[in-house]
Amino acid sequence: MTGSRVVAVGHHQPERVLTNDELASMVDTSDEWIRSRVGIETRRIAGPDESVAELAARAAEKALANAGLTPSDVDYVSVATCTAIDRSPNTAARVADRLGMGTPAALDVNTACSGFTHALATADHAIRAGAARCAVVVGAEKLSDFTDWTDRSTSVLIGDGAGAVVLVAADEPEVGPVTWGSVPEMSDAVRIEGRSGTFAQEGQAVFRWATTELPRIARLTCERSGIAPDELGAIVLHQANLRIIEPLAQRIGATGAVVARDVVESGNTSAASIPIALSKLVERREIPAGAPVLLFGFGGGLSYAGLIVRSP
């Protein structure tokens, strides 16, 4: 046993669709303003009775079904989230209970928008170390619980949902080395502070960092996996802003890669954005099985984590 591989993906989003025109009736904004600045057209908003744990469990259940596995096969479950209301029990434990997973290791990861790639790398490390053989890794967020709907700079960005992958032990590793780190002096760039805090960010600072530093780190991630950028089948970045997402492939030389643009229909779902976008690409068969896919998350902390996986 030398590594892990992704065998299936799944996602779940709430039924309610919130359009830009609806937002324009709530705050001083417009469909044109939102599209031109971040590329978002719609987003999904969870109802009051839809918790982060429920969103996560539904995505995990779909991923397991797609893998042909049962919850009892899972010995490690991790949920990346920064919007769980309860401090204890953690969301992963609630997912394990909802799905009847037995006795898995259950942990949450909170590095905000880079949470899913951090959690995926950590699960891969657990499998490589022999501490697990079948892991479910979920990114799940309900940002609507922490949104100031009178703030035009943040309310237009967010969405709710969850995405999941199933990892299993493999003789030939299909999850590459992680490139991760942080920028401590930018730790306040994305915030949900205090007992009743709402989502806030220094949008321009994050945009400048992403457009100047992200290409270099993305190329390093490819190098560590032994994959040339022009060999990538797809690029799935944190779905924060279309103006960050679209130019990256060109900048790193991945001109043939499919670029996930789920931000257009889902908004910014923080830790859930990468697995939701990946699940949709796989579901629509836009990525060939076995193709190398660059996953890269960045955001609160300011933290980042990128790795290359083979598409299931």
Alpha-helix runs per DSSP H in 253-311? 263-266, 273-283
Q: Tokens in use for 155?
A: 């309310």
The residue count for the chain: 312
Contacts of 38 (CB under 8 A, 6+ apart): 156, 157, 240, 241, 242, 243, 263, 268
**CA proximity to 118, closest of 147, 78, 171, 70:** 78
Q: Tokens in use for 27?
A: 């705050």
What Å distances lie between residue 14 and 11, 45, 189, 206, 307, CA to CA? 10, 6, 28, 28, 28
- φ, ψ of residue 33 to 5 degrees: the values are -65, -45
CA distance 23 to 95: 32
What is the H or E stretch that residue 53 is in? Answer: helix 52-67
Alpha-helix runs per DSSP H in 129-231? 152-155, 203-225
Residue positions annotated with a catalytic role: 113, 238, 268
Would you say 63 and 102 are in contact if contact means Cβ atoms under 8 Å apart?
no
Residue 130 has what DSSP assignment?
A: T
Q: Residue 114's Cα: distance from chain center in Å?
A: 7
Would you say 202 and 189 are in contact if contact means Cβ atoms under 8 Å apart?
yes
**CA proximity to 240, closest of 252, 230, 248:** 248
Would you say 45 and 143 are in contact if contact means Cβ atoms under 8 Å apart?
no
CA distance 133 to 210: 35
